[in-house]
Amino acid sequence: MADRAVADRPVSFKRDLSEWRILLVAWRLLVLQGADPVVGAGMAEHSTYRAHPWRRVEHTLGSGRRLFYQDAESLRREVARLERAHKRIRGTTSDGRSYDARDAATRAWVLLTLFECVVEMRRRGGDPYDAGQLEEAYAEFKEAVAAFGLPEGELPATAKDLPAYFARYAREKLEFTDAARYLMGDLLREAPRPRRLWFLGDAGWRVVRLLVARVIHDLTVADLPPAVRERFGLAATRRGALLSFVLHRGAGALVRLLPDRLRYRSAEEERPPRRYRPHRDTRGPRLDRFFREVLDQTGDGWITVHDLRAMAHNVCWQLELDEAGEARVHGAFEGWWEQLRAVMDADGDGKVSREEFVAATLAGCDRDEAYLEQGLLPALRAVFTAADTDGSGFLEFDEYRAVFGGPRVHPAELSHGFRQLDADGDGRITREEFLDGFTEFFTARAGSTSGTQLLGRA
């Protein structure tokens, strides 16, 4: 009876997207998207996926929930927020090609890979859409993404046209970009330990991530569309094919036995980890970790303007600012970069290395009055003003939580961060308390729960 009830349930792309087994095709999705040259270029220069992969995944999943699981107003706000973010993701690659995240063909590809991965998840799990169900799911998908205003004809008219679209796009557009290679290879072997796996310790995580990296690599290669594997020069192994069959069929059989409350991911944010483990650090090794985990947001080994832009983006993302508010925050962080470069870029190459950062910090250059007044402090004031939504001149706890909260932030950690900034303990954070606390944090003199959560925790 239960199987019949499931079989009789109307098709819903949104519901299928929320199944937990979508995680089996999540890495495949990232590789397909990163193989688009525009996406790959944007990831290389603007994304924090190397340094903070789990945070990027959270932002991606959060955006997906707003696009497909929420009401029309939430969808409108999310599309507007993506528009504001994407207009800043543009530039020129090292080989002279220009790129712009607002390119219509690229947007269509990114959206369609999401639909295609759901279709593939069901097919490999042993419960594929039939022809009618596929068209129903595609119609639901197209209705949701209509808010992006893609040009007429950019999306295939029907679901039956998708295989030809994917094969053509793979042949004509896709490249084995640096981003795709990194996703397929080194990222998982280098990824920092997720905070939920604290019990493994650093040594345990190093062992586990090697196994996980191998499994995901073999699974992803086996699951990629044949045209994409051919384009990349990859070959699925028997081991990978067997792994794919066992995992997908096993997950497909399991989820069909589960009640909906266990089968589907809630549209609500994930609950924070149950155990709170305060972050402790020392002055010595802290500088290296601060450079790597906070300032080098893009994970390329340097501090550049793109790292400061990534920080500004994270602030704006948390607060869902309007266009004018985002412009003020980004402008302040651009000014901070210019001052940081002037103070720390000893060799004048337009970027700051770890060695330059450590040397300048130990020499006290980051406490230089001009550096603070013309760079760091205006950026911090912009964050405070954006967070102070009622214009009271104070951050109440709810305003603080809007900036520093999130699915990975334990309530105890959130409260601890608030108390760190609330120096006089009166239950609200003044502008001066905010500036003093974060000046200490960004001059690498003191740890800060708030600082690491907002801009640095992996």
Residue type, 374: Q
Q: What is the largest CA-CA distance in the chain?
A: 73
Q: What is the CA radius of gyration of the chain?
A: 23
In angstroms, the Cα distances linking 356 to 308, 338, 344 are 17, 15, 6
| Distance, CA of 326 to CA of 305 (rounded, Å) | 16
Question: Does pLDDT of 165 surpass 90?
Answer: yes
Residue that wins the pLDDT comparison between 10 and 407 = 10
* CATH code for residues 283-456: 1.10.238.10
Residue that wins the pLDDT comparison between 358 and 104 = 104
| Distance, CA of 148 to CA of 133 (rounded, Å) | 24
- The answer to whether 458 and 299 are in contact (CB under 8 A) is no
Confidence of residue 4 (pLDDT cuts 50, 70, 90): very low
Confidence of residue 405 (pLDDT cuts 50, 70, 90): confident
- The answer to whether 65 and 71 are in contact (CB under 8 A) is no
- The answer to whether 329 and 385 are in contact (CB under 8 A) is no
Name the average pLDDT for the chain.
83
Question: Does pLDDT of 287 surpass 80?
Answer: no
Taking the domains of the chain in order of start, what are their residue ranges?
Answer: 2-263, 283-456
The pLDDT score that the predictor gives to residue 448 is: 57
Please state the φ and ψ torsions of residue 384, each to the nearest 5 degrees.
Answer: -60, -45
- Residues 6+ positions from 220 with CB-CB distance below 8 Å: 27, 28, 31, 184
Beta bridge partners of 303: 352
H helices present in 305-410, as ranges: 305-319, 323-344, 354-362, 369-371, 377-387, 397-404
Its pTM stands at 0.74
Confidence of residue 24 (pLDDT cuts 50, 70, 90): very high
The pLDDT score that the predictor gives to residue 418 is: 87
Kindly report which listed range (10-19, 184-193, 256-265) carries the lowest average pLDDT score. 184-193
In angstroms, the Cα distances linking 55 to 7, 195, 288, 397 are 36, 11, 20, 23
Q: What is the mean pLDDT of residues 217-223?
A: 95
Residue that wins the pLDDT comparison between 419 and 451 = 419
